[in-house]
Amino acid sequence: MFRKILIANRGEVAVRIIRACKDMGISTVAVYSEADSEALHVGLADESICIGKAPAADSYLNMQAILSAAAVTHVQAIHPGYGFLAESAKFASLCEQCNIRFIGPDSTHISSMGDKDNARKTMKKMGLPVVPGSESVEDLPEAFEWAGKIGYPLLIKARVGGGGRGIRLVAEERGFERAFLDASREASASFGDAGLYIEKYMEQVRHIEVQILADAYGKVVCLGERDCSMQRRKQKVLEESPAAGLPEETRKNMQRDAVRAAKKIGYANAGTLEFLVDAHGNHYFMEMNTRLQVEHPVTEMVTGVDLVKWQIRIAAGVPLSFDQRNIRMQGHSIECRINAENPAMDFRPSSGTVEFLHIPGGPRVRFDTALYPGCTVPPYYDSLLGKLVVHADTREEAVRKMQAALAELVITGVETNIELHIDILAGEAFRNGAYTTGYLESRNES
């Protein structure tokens, strides 16, 4: 097993990984930007190194600085968390060259799945149903031709997009050209790649994703699914596992497809296949995320499997110690993403100093966060403050437990979206589990 790991991230996920290392008796090295010198992950790690100025491009995305920190502290592995360099094939391959284990799949899998056009082709070849759409489009005339074939409404998507960015909905032909140019500009600015493709816009669908764990010896297990249909601007707000009311047949088919695909491509480590599921229970592959997901705790709660520890073990060459038949899903788990956002200003990110903090507790209530009273929430990074997660025997009880936990949670000094979650949980569509990805936005229009 590794003796020392560097965590190339910040915030709640850095803290989550440090905690896993402590359980495993592994020493930790934190890296931080000038804006994060007082951050919790720095305080919790055994060693820490400043890697640059506040903007992510100068610090958490600065590969040279991170690799230098890894070299001077003699770590054997780097955990990238999610976001930042987690899906950078270049970074994974640089780690490999420096003889440092990248805790994730190998760089070839990151690059082949990170290109969504390529991922769609690969999955299609393996017989998975894929969201109808085009291949990569080179220019406007070619895109326009595809659009005619696919039909409206459609989505223009960035080939290497992520985090809900680089996506444009086009309702009818006359909006196409402008949306195409917009998407191309955004993709190029956010991802350094202007490549686009087109998908049919599927209405009244659920976003349901399947978690898999694969070891380096070809064993793949599936850890059930997560329903991530509660979204705002194509970004996940609340997640749950299992997906309420999902037909057993659909569940089985998705899990079978996910495991088969991972096996066939020779994938190793944790991964997620995202699907859209229509009203008839048909599932369509959307993309694969080759990393730890933000919402991984709901899977941990219902399976009892620690995903971060298994990521580390798999990277160190440890074989999975259990089989599919050993995995039993128990009860129901819900996660609310608590963001620093101002609801009065269209959920604009908020920053500041946390004054008062009360974290809910009790059996099966978990709050993954890097907050403490007096800490700074800098304006430079993602607005996620923490993830409130509950687990109960039934969905009804999980909902009540989450309502009680949200009512207890107090964060002052920055604006938050806590009220939004309270509203969501009180809504009828959420109560009967019948919400689709368009739910939150349609509710705001009415």
Q: Tell me the number of residues near ligand ADP by CB under 6 A.
A: 30
Q: Which is nearer to Mg ion, 274 or 368 (CB)?
A: 274
Interface residue with ligand ADP among 117, 215, 225, 295 (CB under 6 A) is 295
- Which candidate, 5, 108, 83, places its Cα nearest to that of 315? 5
The region of 58-66, 131-139, 273-281, 420-428 touching Mg ion under the rule CB under 5 A is 273-281
202 in contact with ligand ADP (CB under 6 A): yes
- State the minimum distance, in angstroms, from the CB of residue 340 to ligand ADP: 13
User: Between 75 and 114, how does the x/- string for binding to ligand ADP read (CB under 6 A)?
Assistant: -------xx---x---------------------------
Q: What's the DSSP call for residue 57?
A: G
- State the minimum distance, in angstroms, from the CB of residue 120 to ligand ADP: 10
Which of Mg ion, ligand ADP, none binds 36 (CB below 5-8 Å, type-dependent)?
none
DSSP per residue, 307-361: HHHHHHHHHTTPPPSS-GGG----SEEEEEEEE-EEGGGTTEE--EE---EE---
Q: At residue 172, what is the residue type?
A: E
Interface residue with ligand ADP among 236, 251, 309, 366 (CB under 6 A) is 236
379 in contact with ligand ADP (CB under 6 A): no
Q: Which is nearer to Mg ion, 139 or 203 (CB)?
A: 203
| Upstream peptide bond of 153 is cis (omega within 30 degrees of 0) | yes
Which of ligand ADP, Mg ion, none binds 234 (CB below 5-8 Å, type-dependent)?
ligand ADP
Q: Which residues make beta-bridge pairs with 156?
A: 168, 198
**How far apart, in whole angstroms, are the C-alpha atoms of residue 273 and residue 330?**
21
- State the minimum distance, in angstroms, from the CB of residue 191 to ligand ADP: 6
- Which candidate, 125, 122, 201, 192, places its Cα nearest to that of 157? 201
Residue 216: both structure tokens together: 């380096």
**How far apart, in whole angstroms, are the C-alpha atoms of residue 331 and residue 220?**
23
**How far apart, in whole angstroms, are the C-alpha atoms of residue 321 and residue 309?**
12
Q: Which is nearer to Mg ion, 269 or 416 (CB)?
A: 269
Q: In a 3-state reduction of DSSP, which class is residue 97? A: helix
- State the minimum distance, in angstroms, from the CB of residue 104 to ligand ADP: 13
The region of 128-136, 138-146, 267-275, 307-315 touching Mg ion under the rule CB under 5 A is 267-275
Please report how many Cα atoms fall inside a 13 Å half-sphere around the Cα of residue 250, on the Cβ side: 22
The region of 177-185, 285-293, 338-346, 371-379 touching ligand ADP under the rule CB under 6 A is 285-293
- State the minimum distance, in angstroms, from the CB of residue 313 to ligand ADP: 21
Residue 165: both structure tokens together: 């960015």
Indicate which residues carry an active-site annotation: 291
CB atoms within 10 A of CB 25: 8
201 in contact with ligand ADP (CB under 6 A): yes
161 in contact with ligand ADP (CB under 6 A): yes
Interface residue with ligand ADP among 55, 163, 175, 433 (CB under 6 A) is 163
CB atoms within 10 A of CB 200: 16
286 in contact with ligand ADP (CB under 6 A): yes
Phi, psi (deg, nearest 5) at residue 394: -130, 165
Phi, psi (deg, nearest 5) at residue 306: -85, 105
- State the minimum distance, in angstroms, from the CB of residue 165 to Mg ion: 11
**How far apart, in whole angstroms, are the C-alpha atoms of residue 165 and residue 430?**
25
Interface residue with ligand ADP among 10, 159, 168, 207 (CB under 6 A) is 207
Instruction: With beta carbons less than 8 A apart as the criterion, state whether 133 and 119 touch.
Output: no
250 in contact with ligand ADP (CB under 6 A): no
Binding site for ligand ADP (CB under 6 A): 82-83, 87, 131, 155, 161-164, 167, 191, 199-202, 205, 207, 231, 234, 236, 274, 276, 286-287, 289, 293-295, 382, 437
